[in-house]
Structure formats: C-alpha cells, structure tokens
Amino acid sequence: MSARGVLYVHSAPAALCPHVEWAVAGVVGVPVKLDWVAQPAAPGHHRAELNWQGRPGTAGEMASALNSWQRLRFEVTEEASPGCDGARYSYTPSLGIFTAITSAAGEVLVPEGRLRAAVARAAAGGRDLASEIELLTGRSWDEELEPFRYAGDGAPVRWLHAAG
C-alpha cells in the first residue's frame, strides 16, 4: 500500500538545510536532496518542497523527525489512502506542532470526540466555543504560516519515491 503527500519547509536557516535532508532521508530510506531557494518572508532563511510517495504514516514520521528543530517552519501533508485518513502536520517555532485529519480537498476534519470535548470546555467557562473551534482547525498555524506559503509561490518542486 502506498501513500503520497508533500513536505513544505517554509523556513529554515541555512545551517539546518542539510539536517532537514538527512532527517527526511532517514524516514523515507533513500537519499534526499532538496532544491533550496531563498525565503523572502524570512531573510537569511530558505524554503523547499518535496512531493513524496511512501508507506502510510510517512507524513507523521517526517513531522516527528523535523519537530525537534525549533527554528523551522514546515508542513507535511499525506493524502488519504485505502484504510487511512489524510493528515496535515504544521509546525511553527512559536506554536509548536498542529496535527489534523484532512478531507480529500485538504480541509481539516474534526473528530466527534474532539468536538464534544471543545463544547464541554466552552460550557465549563474556559475559552468560548469559537476559540475552541479555531484551535481544533489550526487557525493560528494557518495565520502564522500564510506569509511563508505565499512567498513560496513558483518555487521548484521535487518528487521522491521512498524505498520499501
């Protein structure tokens, strides 16, 4: 069974670029060489994209491998495959990691249990329900990453087929 997705490294200091390649190579089992370009939204940083194909769960493994470097901004997506939901992992230094199940159109899907818990927290006097829903859908991550996404329009993209 095979899954596919995209790794978007929105912002990486130059010194971390080879480490990102090594981390991704460790997940996919083949050497990785990304086409790094300057990131206009963060002077001195670079960005790269990698379309990948591998086993289901690869996106989560990539996100885990990159999560320890606190100066990166990245997203990893995985399309739904037979028996597996789609997923999106977003990371920013200020917010940490966000994980979501996604639809075929890339929209965030909120599982019933998480939605019920958000309603219960709002009813108990925590955040209001609108704030809870924004947290469940990753709005803060989208707002922080949007300038970096926009700055990447037209960047080169590379395809990678994982080993095994």
What's the pLDDT score for residue 82? 86
Higher pLDDT, 159 or 120: 120
What's the pLDDT score for residue 70? 85
Once rounded to an integer, what is the mean pLDDT over residues 114-135? 91
Once rounded to an integer, what is the mean pLDDT over residues 61-83? 93
What's the pLDDT score for residue 154? 57
Determine what percent of the chain is predicted with pLDDT higher than 90.
76
Once rounded to an integer, what is the mean pLDDT over residues 119-145? 92
What's the pLDDT score for residue 146? 92
What's the pLDDT score for residue 60? 97
What's the pLDDT score for residue 157? 47
Query: Is residue 101 helix, strand or coil?
Result: strand
Once rounded to an integer, what is the mean pLDDT over residues 77-85? 91
What's the pLDDT score for residue 112? 95
Transcribe 41-82 into DSSP letters.
Answer: TSTTEEEEEEEEEESTTHHHHHHHHHTT-TT-EEEEEE--BT
The structure tokens 């690869």 sit at 58
Model confidence at 161, in pLDDT bands (50, 70, 90)? Answer: low
Q: Tell me how far apart the 2 most distant CA atoms of the chain are, in Å.
A: 51
Model confidence over 37-52: pLDDT tens digits? 999 999 999 999 999 9
Determine what percent of the chain is predicted with pLDDT higher than 70.
91
Model confidence at 68, in pLDDT bands (50, 70, 90)? Answer: confident
Query: Is residue 18 helix, strand or coil?
Result: helix
Average pLDDT across the chain, whole number = 90
